[in-house]
Amino acid sequence: MGILDRFINQNDDEEQEKLEEGLEKTRTSFFGKIDRMVRGKDSVDAELLDELEEILVTSDVGVDTTLDIIDHVEARVAEDQYVSTEELNLLIRDEIAKLMLEDEDERPADFDARLPNKPHVIMVVGVNGVGKTTTIGKMAHKYKQAGKSVMVGAADTFRAAAIEQLEIWADRAEVPIIKQQHGSDPAAVAYDTIEAAQARDTDVVLIDTAGRLHTKGGLMDELAKMKRVMQKRTESAPHEVLLVLDASTGQNALRQAEEFTESVDVTGLALTKLDGTAKGGVVIGVSHQFQVPVKYIGVGEGIEDLQVFDRKGFVEGLFKGVA
């Protein structure tokens, strides 16, 4: 019995169907490469494992995670005496499932879950273009649907039109926004947002941040300053630091995760643009390599197209239809 057979997917049918559609290109590309690799071969040998390693790396799973998978597959081949290439898909499926499901006690951070802080402050970070503003708008909508009051802070004051874009999403989600003029101090915006949220007894605060300054060090210093200033209003803020990554960029997303997790106390990840890309393997690598939970995935452009990440549902969708 494979590891997936011991779990029951908790996503509702509609969200799972949307996820499976979003993974179609990744699934087709990944397993298409494996099918071509094993064609005409009758055993799992060193040459085949080398080819599998190359496929995993080029599928944006990441080098470190790929090496772990290959090591486990080699051990399983030796221990269980797997010799048939027909069994390789199931073997890979089991090993990836183990990586994704290794923390069985982990529960998804549902939007209707009880929050330990009020306001619960979430600082959203990531480079420009990954979908930070869109993710904030979708999160605000989801939290509001769950019955929570939400406020957003436009602390990306460096990028032209960033404030206006966040205003559009705040209007869509029908939540208030705290903003200042372009070029204002981002830390001051974050402070004002928390102050306003406390005055209005708001449940959730979502703080947008800059994605680029003149240097990487300047960006990280600015984020650290924002954190210090927020703590003058709420000592434990921010309660979450959500790093947004664009899944369609593959290896670039892994590099961005490395830079941010080294410099900022990232508590969770959001992977955007998962629909329509063949680079969905990056979810496996980023989840395993950095030991930071993937909390949300974007599977479309609509305000409803943000899902709480379900490891079981993801693996099931990735391997859907695979024998």
Q: What is the pTM of this model?
A: 0.87
Which CATH number belongs to the domain containing residue 135 in this structure?
3.40.50.300
β-strand partners of 269: 243, 294
Inside any domain, residue 52: yes
Residue 73 structure tokens: 């597959």
Mean pLDDT over residues 95-102, rounded?
74
Q: Name the DSSP class of 274.
A: -
Instruction: Please report the pLDDT score of residue 214 as a whole number.
Output: 54
Task: Return the number of other C-beta atoms located less than 10 Å from residue 67's C-beta.
Answer: 13
Mean pLDDT over residues 238-248, rounded?
94
Inside any domain, residue 106: no
Q: State how many domains the chain has.
A: 2
**Range in 70-79, 186-195, 211-220 with the lowest mean pLDDT:** 211-220
Q: Name the DSSP class of 3.
A: G
Mean pLDDT over residues 267-290, rounded?
86
**Together in a domain, 175 and 288:** yes
β-strand partners of 72: none
Cis peptide before 108 (omega within 30 of 0): no
Residue 137 structure tokens: 């708008």
Q: What is the mean pLDDT of the chain?
A: 85
Non-local CB neighbours of 288 within 8 Å, separated by 6+ positions: 62, 64, 65, 68, 99, 100
β-strand partners of 178: 153
Instruction: Indicate if the pLDDT at residue 9 is higher than 50.
Output: no
In Å, how far from its chain's centre is CA 41?
Answer: 37
Structural domain harbouring 34:
11-100
Angle 90-93-98 from CA coordinates, rounded to 5°: 130
